[in-house]
Amino acid sequence: MGSYRDARLRLPREDIGLPEDRGCLRLVLAVPLVALYVPAAYTCCLALAMRPDPDSPYDQLREDARFLGGCSVFLYLLGLLITITPLYRRTLTRWWFAAPALIATVAYVRARTV
């Protein structure tokens, strides 16, 4: 049994799903997701910070807040499509779904209730 185990350990590993390989892969996969989620969070914050005039139905700030909320939701959905792919789903934890889903919900509600 000992020689079989030694021979098996010397073979090259082809499975990227090993726990020791996930650390570097998570870091590499996090770069495009963070590049999408940071601008999306910024546009969501801008949409929340805009205070349109409640008396004027044709206020430009209202349209801008709706547009920024829609952009934020679009960027989060694009990141969600990247996260859902099987390679990423195996590697990333569920927290990569939770925070973007929460902020995308806030941005959607803001875009609809302005």
Average pLDDT over residues 93-104: 82
pLDDT higher than threshold 60 for residue 107: yes
pTM for this model (two decimals): 0.71
pLDDT higher than threshold 90 for residue 69: yes
Q: Which of 4-8, 10-14, 16-20, 106-110 has the highest mean pLDDT?
A: 106-110
Assign 3-class secondary structure to 4-28.
HHHHHHHCCCCCCCCHHHHHHHHHH
pLDDT higher than threshold 70 for residue 11: no
